[in-house]
């Protein structure tokens, strides 16, 4: 058997082949690793931008004052580091401390050295968030877009950035409740006002009668089943009452000019209407006012019962608390309360309930408590509420003019 070793030339050729073939591969691996290191902040920015987008959508849906919070405070004017919970988007990233189930700034983990390997990846990032206001092309309503921008310097000290726009829910404050006006029944002057009052009163009566039937149909569901199903049934009743209360508010808005006109005085020749029809008009007006009171009280009471049940999902409590506040504010503005401080106390208790649990509702109810001190300036429907109060305060005068317009004893 013939055995021989490799010659120097063969070894040299083999080494050259290895060098030519392997070194480019090593170079590729090195450049790939460098590229990965360069893109680490980019991928972290994408991850954090998605987190910020979810937070902005959640905040705008839970807190009507969410956008005001960003425009009035410094969050939308200054670049903020993503570390140590300096920005509300990233105040807490992990429920790491007792009591668990609550995300508490300063106690639970924010982005910082304590998070280990993720810290050097996010440390270069800065955050800037700014809301932009525009008009939605499909609906014509105000549209809000949060522009979330992360910036950093790469390994070569070049400025980099990642921009992530997010459309969010826009809350629209209504200063009037629109209703479907009944068909005109003719007449001019006082007679036209009377006919308007009659038509609107009949619409209100139909609404009140219908909601009573619907609420009563849900009574069995509020007394049987588990706590959650009973709470859902109670909230359904509260929703029905609130919806009809809003309709009645709109009807009373539309009644206001007619009541104002009739309360100013009516003569026999201005209102040639039978007495029974005049009595019916006064009855309908009184029932419309009473229907608004009953629906607001019913919504507040049913929501309060649902919110008082223990161990329910947090969304049930949030729905109940929101409805109580909405209806209580309208009730407070449309008729005098013996003690308006009770609503302020309730708002403080509700805000305390959400503190460290849900920061957006906590902020919303805190603002509601603050604005309660000057509700006439902060509440969009205050003009509508004033019209209801006018009707309530002038009900007797309007009824007197309508019922006794043909009386010889009328002064």
Q: Does position 1 have pLDDT exceeding 60, yes or no?
A: no
Q: Does position 25 have pLDDT exceeding 80, yes or no?
A: no
Average pLDDT over residues 135-146: 70
**pLDDT band at residue 174 under the 50/70/90 scheme:** low
Q: Does position 18 have pLDDT exceeding 90, yes or no?
A: no
Q: What is the mean pLDDT of the chain?
A: 78
User: Which span out of 13-22, 152-161, 199-208, 397-406 was modeled with the highest average pLDDT?
Assistant: 199-208
Q: Does position 98 have pLDDT exceeding 60, yes or no?
A: no
Residue 89: per-residue pLDDT: 65
Average pLDDT over residues 21-47: 62
Cα distances (angstroms) measured from residue 383 to each of 256, 284, 379, 392: 11, 23, 9, 14
d(CA 247, CA 270): 30
**pLDDT band at residue 54 under the 50/70/90 scheme:** confident
Average pLDDT over residues 55-81: 73
Residue 237: per-residue pLDDT: 95
Q: Determine how β-strand 142-153 pairs with β-strand 159-168.
A: antiparallel
| 126 three-state secondary structure | strand
User: CA 34, 38, 44 angle in degrees (round to 5)?
Assistant: 135
Residue 207: per-residue pLDDT: 94
Give 219-232 pLDDT, tens digit per residue: 999 998 888 999 99
What residue segments make up the domains of the chain, in order of their start?
A: 36-168, 189-403
Residue 210: per-residue pLDDT: 95
Residue 408: per-residue pLDDT: 43
User: Which span out of 3-17, 69-83, 282-296 was modeled with the highest average pLDDT?
Assistant: 282-296
Residue 410: per-residue pLDDT: 44
d(CA 411, CA 408): 8
Average pLDDT over residues 64-80: 69
Read off the pTM.
Answer: 0.75
């Amino acid at each position: 058997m013939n055995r021989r070793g490799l010659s120097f030339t063969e070894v040299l050729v083999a080494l050259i082949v290895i060098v030519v073939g392997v070194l480019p591969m090593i170079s590729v691996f090195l450049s790939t690793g460098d590229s990965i290191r360069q893109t680490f902040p980019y991928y972290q920015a994408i991850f954090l931008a998605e987190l910020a987008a979810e937070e902005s959508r959640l905040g705008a849906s839970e807190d009507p004052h969410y956008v005001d919070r960003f425009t009035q405070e410094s969050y939308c004017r200054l670049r903020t580091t993503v570390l140590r919970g300096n920005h509300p988007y990233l105040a807490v990233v992990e429920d790491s401390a007792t009591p668990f189930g609550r995300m508490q700034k300063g106690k639970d983990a924010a982005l910082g050295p304590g998070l280990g390997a993720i810290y050097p990846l996010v440390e270069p990032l800065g955050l800037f968030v700014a809301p932009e206001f525009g008009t939605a092309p499909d609906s014509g309503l105000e549209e809000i877009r949060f522009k979330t921008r992360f910036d950093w310097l790469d390994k070569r000290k070049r400025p980099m950035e990642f921009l992530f726009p997010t459309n969010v829910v826009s809350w629209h404050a209504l200063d009037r409740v629109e209703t479907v006006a009944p068909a005109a029944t003719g007449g001019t002057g006082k007679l036209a006002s009377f006919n308007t009052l009659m038509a609107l009163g009949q619409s209100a009566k139909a609404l009140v009668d219908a909601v009573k039937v619907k609420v009563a149909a849900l009574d069995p569901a509020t007394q049987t089943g588990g706590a959650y199903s009973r709470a859902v049934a109670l909230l359904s009743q509260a929703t029905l009452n609130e919806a009809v209360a809003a309709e009645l508010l709109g009807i009373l808005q539309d009644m206001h000019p007619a009541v104002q006109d009739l309360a100013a005085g009516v003569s026999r020749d201005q209102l040639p209407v039978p007495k029974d029809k005049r009595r019916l008009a006064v009855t309908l007006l009184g029932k419309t006012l009473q229907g608004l009171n009953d629906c607001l009280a019913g919504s507040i009471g049913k929501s309060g019962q649902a919110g008082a049940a223990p161990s329910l999902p947090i969304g049930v409590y949030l729905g109940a608390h929101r409805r109580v506040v909405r209806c209580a504010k309208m009730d407070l503005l449309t008729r005098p309360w013996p003690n308006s401080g009770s609503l302020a106390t309730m708002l403080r208790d509700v805000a305390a309930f959400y503190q460290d649990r849900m920061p957006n509702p906590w902020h919303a109810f805190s603002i509601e408590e603050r604005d309660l001190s000057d509700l006439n300036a902060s509440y969009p429907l205050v003009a509508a509420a004033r019209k209801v109060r006018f009707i309530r305060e002038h009900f007797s005068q309007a009824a007197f003019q309508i019922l006794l317009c043909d009386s010889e004893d009328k002064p």
